[in-house]
Amino acid sequence: MRSHTIKVGAFFIRNLLMTRRNAFTLFEVLFWPAVGLASVGLLTRFLALDADTTAFVLTGTIALSVVQVCQLDVAYGLLFDMWSKSVKHQFLAPIGVWHLVAGSWAFGAVRGTLAFLVMAVFSAWAFGFDFLKAGLLPLGLFLLGCLFSAAAVGVLVCILILCFGYRAEVAAWSLVSMLMVLCGVYYPVELLPSPLAVAGRALPLTGILEGFRAGYGFSPAGSAPFAEGFAWGLAYLVAGGLALQWAARTARKSGMLLRLSE
């Protein structure tokens, strides 16, 4: 157990060091989420939305930013090595892919929580968003659900990198946009055409958003949206973990680990 903690800690510490070294990571955590929130918040003003509908929209913006910040950290567990062409050294060590995901995600959760706090305070100050209205437990579940969803997205990015190499790098920044369309970030999922709505219901973030928005008077489609969201999240994480192991095996077979190295 101690050895596993040390290995997981390696990725946590590395992401921490890289964040401290790079001023641009502050933009990821503070600047871009704030810019996104400001523009969407101003749009709600322009459209003269009521407080609850404003909360609906801002909740989506906050969720999307938290997922993006946290999933990037998971992806960084592999991307830092890919960019510096040192992937093989990591896979040469006696670690499992879950060490990489767990360590990077844990640091992503710290950054994601920081981004959440900044956005919550900013939205309350700038747009009067009462983020405590739904209650502390739903708020905690909402944040946890976003971080949980981020883990699944980050794992998917890692799988794509191990399968397609440099060509998949863009997935780290673009996959979240897919979530935006399918999870009902800015609208209820029911507005989507039928097959897409079904797909949207099968994504963890959909349930998490519905569960939190219930506190603002928006009825969820299911009876236990949080449970649904976490169940989907767990299913994706287990499936993602297995797929990531398969991707690592495939990368050893195809020589991708060497192509991503010196």
Partner 1 sequence: MWVVEAERLTKTFVTGWLRPRRREALAGVSLRVPPGAIYGIVGPNGAGKTTLLSILATILTPDSGRATLLGHDLTREPAAVRQRLNLVSGHANFVWSLQVAEILDFYARLYGLTARERRVRVEELLEWCELTPYRAVPYNELSTGLKQRLALAKGLVNRPELLLLDEPTVGLDPDMALKVRAQIAELRARERVTILLCTHYMREAEQLCDQVAFLKRGLILAEGAPADLKRRLGLGDAIRLRITGRPADLAGLPGLLHWAVQDGLLTCTVDEAATRLPSLLGMLDARGVRVEELRVTEPDLEDVFVEYAKPHH
In the complex, the residues that contact partner 1 under the rule CB under 8 A are 2-3, 6-7, 9-10, 13-14, 17-18, 21-22, 80-81, 83-86, 88-95, 99, 249, 252-255, 257-258, 261-262
Residue whose CB is less far from partner 1, 45 or 85:
85
Q: How far is the CB of 78 from partner 1 (least distance, A)?
A: 12
Residue 72 makes CB contacts below 8 A (sequence gap 6+) with 28, 108, 154, 172, 173
In the complex, minimum distance from the CB of residue 83 to partner 1, in angstroms, rounded to a whole number: 8
Question: Taken in order 173, 109, 160, 257, is the CA torsion positive or negative?
Answer: positive
Q: Looking at beta carbons only, is 67 or 100 nearer to partner 1? A: 100
Q: Give one DSSP letter per residue of 78-147, joined into a string.
A: HHHHHHTT-HHHHHHSS--HHHHHHHHHHHHHHHHHHHHHHHHHHHHHHH---TTTT-HHHHHHHHHHHH
CA distance 25 to 39: 21
Closest among 158, 167, 129 to 37, alpha carbons compared: 129
Q: CA distances (Å), 227 to each of 130, 163, 212, 233, in order? A: 24, 32, 12, 10
Compute the least distance from the CB of residue 261 to partner 1, in Å: 7
Minimum Å gap between C-beta 155 and partner 1 is 19
CB of 176 to partner 1, least distance (A): 24
Which residue lies nearer to partner 1 by CB, 113 or 261?
261
DSSP 135-198: -HHHHHHHHHHHHHHHHHHHHHHHHHHHHHGGGGTTHHHHHHHHHHHHTTSSS-GGGS-HHHHH
Q: Closest separation between CB of residue 37 and partner 1, Å?
A: 29
Smaller CB separation from partner 1, 86 or 174:
86
For partner 1, give the closer residue by CB, 94 or 193: 94
> Which is closer to partner 1, CB of 91 or CB of 127?
91
